[in-house]
Amino acid sequence: MTTVGTERLLLRPWCEADFDRLVGLYSNVEVMRFISGGVPLDRPRVEAMLDRVMGLWRERGFGPWAAIDKASGAWLGEIGLNEIPDWPEADKIEVGWELDPAWWGRGLAPEGGRAALEFGFGVHRLPRIISVTRPDNAKSRRVMEKLGMTCQGERPFRGAPAAVWYALDRETWLNSTA
């Protein structure tokens, strides 16, 4: 698993201690508001999620990272690439972010998201990366826009009437970094 540094973040692989931190993050009503309507994920679900993520790292060489504040060593949350196996469109690798609310509003998700795009397009040569959220998740949509992703529209997903999705092509990303 690959560790990546940005100006303020260390994006590192998962370690055992992260499990309890992730359970805490996914129990936070504010964090979960647009993910599950505020309902916490229980420990077995977080465990299953981490197992799947570790499998993604083993099989594809990428996945979400644990995000650490370089200056203080604080654990901030999760940022990075992930697979949405049941996403009904062709491209299923997404960039995503979930941070502890104490760290919101400092541009950290875009900073980590940019590193994830660089990893996906530059190192893994993915043709297209998407990002999916609920239409009313304005903060997350703003992060997608700040990363240069463009809105592809809304569609029903996992029983919800609408998920909004954004995408960025490798070509467009290459041109923007040239």
At closest approach, how far in Å is the CB of 104 from ligand COA?
4
Instruction: State which residue, 24 or 110, has the beta carbon closest to ligand COA.
Output: 110
Please report how the helices 138-146 and 108-117 are oriented relative to each other, as an axis angle in degrees rounded to 10. Answer: 50
How many CA atoms within 13 Å lie on the side-chain side of 75? 17
Nearer to ligand COA, 126 or 130 (CB): 130
Q: How far is the CB of 60 from ligand COA (least distance, A)?
A: 20
Nearest to 140 by CA among 151, 156, 128: 151
In whole angstroms, how close is the CB of 113 to ligand COA at the nearest point? 8
Sites of contact with ligand COA (CB under 6 A): 31, 34-35, 96-99, 104-110, 133, 137-140, 142-143
Strand intervals (E) in the chain: 4-5, 9-12, 64-69, 75-83, 93-99, 128-133, 150-157, 160-169
Complex with ligand COA: residue 17 or 29, whichever CB lies closer: 29
How is residue 176 annotated by DSSP? H
Structure-block tokens of residue 128 = 């297209």
Report the nearest approach of ligand COA to the CB of residue 63 (Å): 16
Nearer of residues 71 and 178 to ligand COA, judged by Cβ: 71
Query: How near is the Cβ of 90 to ligand COA at its closest, in Å?
Result: 20
Calculate Rg over the CA atoms of the chain.
Answer: 15
Residue whose CB is less far from ligand COA, 99 or 167? 99
